[in-house]
């Protein structure tokens, strides 16, 4: 089992819809969770992070965390074509020293 798993997609949603991106992780001791966005040919950039169970909202983005189910998600409301990118779920790990483990990423297409 991979440490961080995501559905690779592609996920296609119409403009204005809600895009839902999901991620599961294997280390029950994980405390923080990050979402990065990566446009084609560019480097990843941080969108959001979440530490506590529940929801965290930032503009059109909402991160949801359920530690009991080892599940974290990212909702994008009112999706725009400019949201078309790959979304990477990332989980810091402190086993054997601090490092961040990434999922394979989910490709999102928002159709105008």
Specify the stretch interacting with other proteins by CB under 8 A; choose among 16-24, 55-63, 73-81, 86-94.
86-94
Interacting residue with other proteins among 30, 34, 50, 83 (CB under 8 A): 34
Residue 112: how many other CB atoms lie within 10 Å: 8
Tokens of 71: 């599940």
The answer to whether 39 contacts other proteins (rule: CB under 8 A) is no
SS3 of residue 41 by DSSP? coil
Q: In the sheet that 54-58 helps form, which strands lie side by side, from edge to edge? A: 4-6, 19-25, 71-76, 61-66, 54-58
CB of 46 to other proteins, least distance (A): 5
Residue for token pair 């991106």 = 21
The answer to whether 102 contacts other proteins (rule: CB under 8 A) is yes
- Please report, as ranges, the residues that interact with other proteins according to CB under 8 A: 6, 8, 31-32, 34, 36, 42-46, 49, 51, 88, 90, 92, 94, 96-105
């Amino acid at each position: 089992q991979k440490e961080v798993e995501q559905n690779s997609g592609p996920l296609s949603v119409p403009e204005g819809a809600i895009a839902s991106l999901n991620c599961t992780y294997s280390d029950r001791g994980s405390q923080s969770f990050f979402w990065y966005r990566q446009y084609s040919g560019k480097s990843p950039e941080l969108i959001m992070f979440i530490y506590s169970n529940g929801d965290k909202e930032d503009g059109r983005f909402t991160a949801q965390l359920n530690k009991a189910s080892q599940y974290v998600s990212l909702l994008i409301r009112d999706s725009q074509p400019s949201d078309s990118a790959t979304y990477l779920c990332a989980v810091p790990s402190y086993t054997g020293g601090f490092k961040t483990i990434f999922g394979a990423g989910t490709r999102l297409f928002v159709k105008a």
